Amino acid sequence: MVMSVVLLLAACQKQEGAIVRPGPAAATPTTVIRESQQVTAPLPAPRASCTNAPVGWSRREDRQPGVRDVPMHSPGIGQVGGYLDSFTAVCGQTMSVHLSSYGGDTSVRLRALRIGDYQGLGSRLVWQSRVLTARRQAEAVPTGRDRVITERWPVATTIAVNAVWPPGMYLIEIAPLGGGQSSFISLAVRTSGVRPPYIVVASDLTWLAYNNYGGHSEYWTKRMYDAALQARDAGTNFGSLGANQIYWQGRIERDRSGRETALTVYRVAKLDRQARADPSTTTVQWRNPLLLRDPAAFVGVGMSAVGVSGAYVVNTAPAWGLALCRHEPHAAIPPAGCDPEQGDADHATSRS
């Protein structure tokens, strides 16, 4: 099984005289064709074979007991690393799990934690595996002219995402028995059942790019961007909850069944040979002259540096927004932000 969480970021040319091992290209022409289609044209994707969101499921889920097992900050990779064969799942889908130990044979247990409030505890234990033995696997090396790194670790076990897995964001914990640092794999379980009143755009493409979770929504595909703008123009309300959003264009690679298997981002236009058939799919920054689709026109702010904080300046805002925070047009909102409970600026921050 091909590793689905390693991404080629071909920002650098290969060194002169470097050995190039045979291997596949990072991108396929099919992906460019799919991204060029209208958003109303469906893409191949796994179909749900069960229902995980019956009527009233959300209220019942809120009453479930929680556990305080999700770290507040991304802990990095622990004693055993791993990946799934896809970073999203539908009800009825079986996921393959691939593990590698970094310190010899290690006994571990997998635990599926659904993220939520759960009486302030932060997560709920939905599933756990039997005890597994993780062994060290060989690390892949760059291959082909695009220097693709593709891990092919064996399947350690499978996870059946069935009707007892409510839709939402999950972390699959790889927990060593007897203590030691856990690793976590992010997984989005899609809704199958009642139509939700709102939708959350997870940052899974960014997590895929950096092999880490908890990041901002930096990588978007053309179809994602097109769909968001069409929804906005049709009257859909949007809330932007992170910094550095919609920064790079990416293209999602899929297998024959439609599962997402990789994200391709070259960052340098001349390296993205497949996009020559349709320059609008070139994997560069959205504000690049090739695309001219600066995300600031959509989310209201732009990204220019990392680790910078400062005040927001209100240029335009609906009356309810100004009343909520007791601000006037063109007023500066300090980095502390706006607390609607007190009508004062003392909470949120504008930080990238």
The mean pLDDT value of the chain amounts to 82
Measured between alpha carbons, how far apart are the two ends of the chain, in Å? Answer: 36
- 188 and 313 share one domain: no
Reported confidence tier of residue 77, pLDDT bands at 50, 70, 90: confident
- 62 and 102 share one domain: yes
**Whole-angstrom Cα Rg for the chain:** 22
Residue 283 has pLDDT above 90, yes or no: yes
Tell me if 132 is assigned to some domain. Answer: yes
Residue 274 has pLDDT above 80, yes or no: yes
Residue 13 has pLDDT above 70, yes or no: no
Between helix 29-36 and helix 222-233 the angle, nearest 10°, is 10
Name the most confidently modeled range: 5-9, 45-49, 155-159.
155-159
- 223 and 235 share one domain: yes
- 292 and 160 share one domain: yes
Show the domain range for 319: 305-352
Give the pLDDT confidence score for residue 334 in this predicted structure.
Answer: 59
Reported confidence tier of residue 343, pLDDT bands at 50, 70, 90: very low
The DSSP letter of residue 289 is T
Reference 131, options 85, 177, 178; nearest CA is 177
Residue 93 to residue 87: CA distance in whole angstroms: 12
- 253 and 121 share one domain: yes
| Higher-confidence position of 181 and 5 | 181
Tell me if 80 is assigned to some domain. Answer: yes
Residue 50 to residue 118: CA distance in whole angstroms: 25
Residue 247 to residue 64: CA distance in whole angstroms: 37
Residue 220 to residue 204: CA distance in whole angstroms: 10
Q: Is 316 exposed, middle or buried (0-12, 13-18, 19+ CB in 10 A)?
A: exposed
Interacting residues of 40 by C-beta distance below 8 A, sequence separation 6+: none
Give the pLDDT confidence score for residue 204 in this predicted structure.
Answer: 83
- Find the range with the poorest average confidence among 179-188, 302-311, 316-325: 316-325
- 284 and 241 share one domain: yes
Give the pLDDT confidence score for residue 97 in this predicted structure.
Answer: 97
- 285 and 325 share one domain: no
- 193 and 256 share one domain: yes
Residue 336 has pLDDT above 60, yes or no: no
Tell me the backbone φ, ψ of residue 126, rounded to 5 degrees: -100, -30
Percentage of residues in the chain having pLDDT higher than 90: 48
- 181 and 276 share one domain: yes
Give the pLDDT confidence score for residue 326 in this predicted structure.
Answer: 59
Tell me if 23 is assigned to some domain. Answer: no
Reported confidence tier of residue 91, pLDDT bands at 50, 70, 90: very high
Helices and strands (H and E) in the chain: how many: 6, 17
* pLDDT tens profile 230-244: 999 999 988 887 778
CB 1 within 8 A of CB 85: yes
The DSSP letter of residue 144 is T
Reference 208, options 237, 153, 180, 248; nearest CA is 248
CB 35 within 8 A of CB 222: yes
Domains: count for the chain: 2
Residue 176 to residue 328: CA distance in whole angstroms: 54
Tell me if 16 is assigned to some domain. Answer: no
- 322 and 299 share one domain: no
Residue 165 to residue 130: CA distance in whole angstroms: 18
- 120 and 176 share one domain: yes
Tell me if 17 is assigned to some domain. Answer: no
| Higher-confidence position of 239 and 2 | 239
Give the pLDDT confidence score for residue 240 in this predicted structure.
Answer: 81
Percentage of residues in the chain having pLDDT higher than 70: 81
Reference 243, options 298, 190, 301, 198; nearest CA is 301
Pairing of strands 332-333, 312-313: antiparallel
The DSSP letter of residue 188 is E
